[in-house]
Structures are given as structure tokens and as C-alpha cells.
Chain A
């Protein structure tokens, strides 16, 4: 009887473990692996990767004073190369002071408001993209590792629900492409698993660097669904779910995508 109970417990533990990941670790593939040789080598090129133009600008902005306090990011955080190492891998994250869920962009703007007395950068502004890319670049190669415990849990659950919600005229959820059909063709493209580990990315279609929110909006438009405005909490929930789903994939910022 005891042996039976133990076996049952093991099975329960086994399924619980299996549910801890949306995609098994051995099948987890970065968007990078779905690219052709040309774009892969462009991302890998530490000079020619066009996203590095924004990283260079972000590096300058890091130590540029702004706002009422005339402080820069560097005034508090000193050298980003050490203080920002691994930070991007842990975002989106709950801000302890306000209890709000923040992505990296949100954190930068909150810092500007709270510590610098400066105006927040606009969504998709060159400055915000540059600073985000510079901060995220410091975590290059580190595995995505977000917390979904505590106050993050309800936001994660909402993100998971949003991920599986059918929407738009095509009545598709994120999961219909990126969970059930990744690796198959959508016209000339191979459907990727939809991971956020390279953001902000330089996207060929955009001819510029763009945020994960911009990419989510592009997906929504693609399935003919309503695009939520920038900064909607639903994007953040989704970003948290996506980051958890990519758990273990190394940060590639600035990634290059099709």
C-alpha cells in the first residue's frame, strides 16, 4: 500500500514537473535558430549587427544627466557592465515599492520619474530603445530567469490566459502558431516558438530596432485583432508569461530577426 502511494506521489510529482514548462527544455529553441545563415551571422557580428547602433547610443545616455536632480543612470548604478549584468534576464519583475509589474522599459521610466525627476521616455522612442538595448546587452548569454511567485503570480496567470485567448477575425491565440505549429511553414516563413530573449530586436521588416510590445502588436495585427495601446497591462502580463516560457534561453540582445 505504502509502495503504491509512493508510486502515485511520484506520478503526481512527474506531471507537476512536466507542467512547469510550456515547451520541454530539450525542445526549447530561440528565434535565432529559425533564421537563415545571413541573419544569424549578422546578429553574431559584434560590429555590423545594426542593433549595436542603439546599444552605443544607450551607453552614452547611461551617463547623461537628466531631470531636476541632474543625475544620470550612472550616478546610482555606476558601471552598467557590472551592475546591470543579469538584470534583463529577470524582467518583467514586480517593483517592490509600488507593487507594479514592470518590464525593462517601464523600470527605466520609473527610475527617471522617481530618482531623476525627469520626463519618461515615450514608448518606442529612440532614447528608450537605446537605453533598454544597452541595459539588456549587459545580460547577453545569461539564461532568462523570471520569478512568477508572490505578487507576480496573478499577473503570470493573466498572461497565460491572454496567451491562450482566441482573438481577432482569424480567431487565433498565440498558442495556435507558437505552441501547436512552430517549425512549420507560414507561407515563406518558418513559425518560431515566439520567445522574447533577443529584445529589443532589429527587425528587417521594420528596418529599425523595436520593442517586444511592438512585436506583440505586429502579431495582433497579423491575426486581424485589435491592437491594444502601448503600455497596456495585458502586454506586460503576456511579456511575463513569454519570459517564463523562455526560461533558460540565453539573452541575445540586440537580436536580429526577419
Chain B
């Protein structure tokens, strides 16, 4: 599951930083049928979590209403330098993860 993550690599302590995530995923709704009429099983990313130096700062529960290749944008406060880690999982149990480091100056 390829993904694109965008966070400013440098920030000042206390600054509100924007985080953008784009994950490649079909987000199969579970409401569709294949060419011969059999239902196609739902397979969506159902959980995405973002941890900043191990502490969860954002969590999203997604379901059938979200389009393919979901794009999320959220904010957090820059505190200390370290790593921001993203993990997500879909209905079939496939897990994806990305990490990016951030440098925070006082």
C-alpha cells in the first residue's frame, strides 16, 4: 500500500503543523457486484493512526463512504524533535506504515 506523507521537516516548538496523508487503496465499498452478480467483499482501510514520538495524536476510523485512495489532512502541535509514524490497516488485514522525522527548534 504505497502512500504519500507531507509534513514540514522543520518547525518551531509550539507551532501548529499540517500533516497530509494520501494512501493508495481501492476502498471497496462492499455494495458492488462483480460481472456475474456476486457481491464484492468490503475492503476498506478501517483504521489509521498517527503517533508522534510514540504518542497517538490522531486516529481515524474509515468506512464504505470514503472514496478510493483516501486523502486526510489534520494538524498537531510541534513539541520535540523526533518521528511521526503512521499505521493503517484494511479489512483484509493488510497493514501499511510510513514514518517521517521532524526537527523542532525552541
Instruction: Write the residues of chain A forming the contact surface with B, with a CB cutoff of 8 angstroms.
Output: 47-48, 50, 52-53, 56-57, 207-208
Contacts and interface: CB of A to CB of B under 8 A. Distances in A.
A200 to B, nearest CB: 14
Nearest to A55: B4
B20 interface: yes
Interface of B: 2-4, 6, 20, 22, 24, 26-27, 67-69, 71
Nearest to B24: A53
Contacts, number: 30
Nearest to A206: B68
A50 B4 CA distance: 10
A50 B71 contact: yes
A33 to B, nearest CB: 24
A48 B68 CA distance: 13
Q: Give the dominant DSSP class at A's interface.
A: mixed
Contact of A56 (B4, B27, B68, B71): B4
B26 to A, nearest CB: 7
A50 B2 CA distance: 11
A47 B22 contact: yes
Closest 7 CB pairs of A and B: A207-B68, A53-B24, A50-B69, A47-B6, A48-B71, A47-B20, A57-B2
Contact of A207 (B2, B4, B22, B69): B69
A47 B72 CA distance: 12
B2 A56 contact: yes
A52 B4 CA distance: 9
A53 B6 CA distance: 13
Contact of A50 (B6, B20, B22): B22
A244 B69 CA distance: 33
Nearest to B69: A50
Nearest to B23: A53
A48 B6 CA distance: 9
B96 to A, nearest CB: 12
B6 A208 contact: no
A208 B26 CA distance: 8
A98 B45 CA distance: 46
A128 B19 CA distance: 30
B26 A48 contact: no
B22 A48 contact: yes
Contacts of B67: 207
A76 B49 CA distance: 41
A52 B68 CA distance: 14
B69 A53 contact: yes
A208 B68 contact: yes
B26 A53 contact: no
B6 A207 contact: no
B20 A53 contact: no
B83 to A, nearest CB: 20
Contacts of A47: 4, 6, 20, 22
Contacts of A48: 20, 22, 71
Contacts of A53: 2-4, 22, 24, 69
B100 to A, nearest CB: 13
